[in-house]
Amino acid sequence: MRKIEFTTIFFALMGFFILLFIILPVLSLLFSESPETLFETAKNPVVVNAIFLSCYTAFLATLIALIFGVPLAYVLARKNFPGKNVVNAIIDIPIVIPHTVAGIALLTVFSSNGIVGGNVGIRFVDAIPGIVVAMLFVSAPFLINSAREGFESVDPKLENVSRSLGASPLKTFFKISFPLASRNILTGSIMTWARAISEFGAVIIIAYYPMIAPTLIWDRLSYGINYSRPVAVILILICLTVFIALRIISGRNHDKT
C-alpha cells in the first residue's frame, strides 16, 4: 500500500512539472498587460476584425471537417477494406509535416495556376477561402480521429437491432450511431476549431491578407513585442473562454447520457 501511495505521489509530482511548464508561460503572458491597455487594444477596429475573422474562418473550417469528416470516420470505424491503413496514414499527414510546408503544398493546388484554384473560379490566395483551406488542412485530422474513436465505441449490435426493426442504414446512423458518438464528435470539433484558430504557418503562405489574429500578431511583432503582446493576450482570453465553455457543455452532455 505504501509503495502504491509513494508511486502515486511521485507520478503526481512528475506531472506537476509538465503542467507548470504549460501554464507558466500562459499566465505570464496574461498578466503582462494592464486592463487599460487590453481595453484600448480591444477597441481597435483592426484587432477586432482580425480576431473576428479568425473565429469565423475557424468555424467554417470546423463545419466543413464535420460535414465531410464524420462520414469518413464512420466508414473507417465500421468497415475493413484494402488500403485502410493507408487512408489512416493520409489523414495524419497534416499533423506530421511542418505547416509552412503544408502552406506551400496548398499554394501549388489553390493558386491561380493550381489544379483547383485555376479551375473553380474562386480566389484562394490572399482571400478568405485560402485561410479556410489552410485551417481545414491542419485541423481536420483531430475531428476525424476523434469521431472514429467514438463510432468504434458504439456496440454494432445496437445498429443491427435498429436495422432488424426496419430502419434504413441512414436512419440508423442518425438515430443510433451519431448520438452515441456525439461526445467524441463534439470533442473533435472543439479541438478542430482550437487548432484552426491558432494556425499561422500554413495560413501565412497562402493568405497573408486579410489578416487573421496570428498574422496580425506576427506583423506587429516587427515593431516590437509591446505592439503584439496585447493582441496575443486578447486572443488567448477569447480562445480560453470559448474552449472552457464548450468543454463544460460537452461534460454536461456526457453526464446526462
Closest to 184 (Cα-Cα) out of 151, 140, 141: 151
pTM: 0.88
Amino acid, single-letter form, for residue 87: V
Residue 9 is predicted with a pLDDT of: 85
Residues 6+ apart with CB under 8 A from 111: 117, 118, 124, 125, 206
Residue 243 is predicted with a pLDDT of: 78
Residues 6+ apart with CB under 8 A from 74: 147, 148, 151, 173, 177
Residue 4 is predicted with a pLDDT of: 58
Within 13 Å and on the Cβ side, how many CA atoms surround 106? 28
Domain regions of the chain by residue span: 36-256
Per-residue pLDDT of the chain (257 residues; tens, 9 = 90+): 455 577 888 888 889 999 999 999 989 998 988 889 999 999 999 999 999 999 999 999 999 999 999 999 999 999 999 999 999 999 999 999 999 999 999 999 999 888 898 888 899 999 999 999 999 999 999 999 999 999 999 999 999 999 899 999 999 999 999 999 999 999 999 999 999 999 999 999 999 999 999 999 999 998 988 889 999 999 999 888 887 887 777 666 555 55
Cis peptide before 210 (omega within 30 of 0): yes
DSSP 223: T
> Cell for 230?
496585447
User: What is the CATH code of the structural domain delimited by 36-256?
Assistant: 1.10.3720.10
For residues 241 and 194, the answer to whether their CB atoms sit within 8 Å is no
* CA Rg value for the chain: 22
Residue 55 is predicted with a pLDDT of: 93
Count the neighbouring beta carbons within 10 Å of the beta carbon of residue 182.
17
- Residues in the chain, overall count: 257
